[in-house]
Amino acid sequence: MDNKILKNLREDLIGELQAINQYQEHIDETNDEEIKKVLGHIRDDEKEHFAELTKLIRKIDETQEQKFQKQEL
């Protein structure tokens, strides 16, 4: 598999983690329940994106997949 593709997927993964953290910070900084609910939903969508990207990386990077299996993940 092309290393550029894996690099891009890993950069996308970083972006998803940063988005998750940012939304969580914003949730923690407000007392408005409607805002918390909407941002929580968006944050959870980002978590799903993280999972989808991880699945792709595991599929195309044999070494990464072995590491996941070693850790029983």
Any domain includes 51: yes
Residue range of the domain that includes 58: 3-62
Which pLDDT tens digit goes with each residue over 14-23?
Answer: 999 999 999 9
Any domain includes 49: yes
Confidence check: pLDDT of 1 > 90: no
Number of domains in the chain: 1
Any domain includes 69: no
Which pLDDT tens digit goes with each residue over 30-73?
Answer: 999 999 999 999 999 999 999 999 999 999 999 999 998 899 88
Any domain includes 71: no
Q: Which two tokens stand for residue 11?
A: 């950069």
Contact call for residues 4 and 55 (beta carbons, < 8 A) = no
Any domain includes 70: no
How many CA atoms are closer than 13 Å to the CA of 31, on its beta-carbon side? Answer: 0
In single-letter form, the type of residue at position 50 comes to: F
Q: Rounded distance, CA 29 to CA 8, Å?
A: 32
Any domain includes 68: no
pLDDT score recorded for residue 57: 96
pLDDT score recorded for residue 73: 84
Any domain includes 48: yes
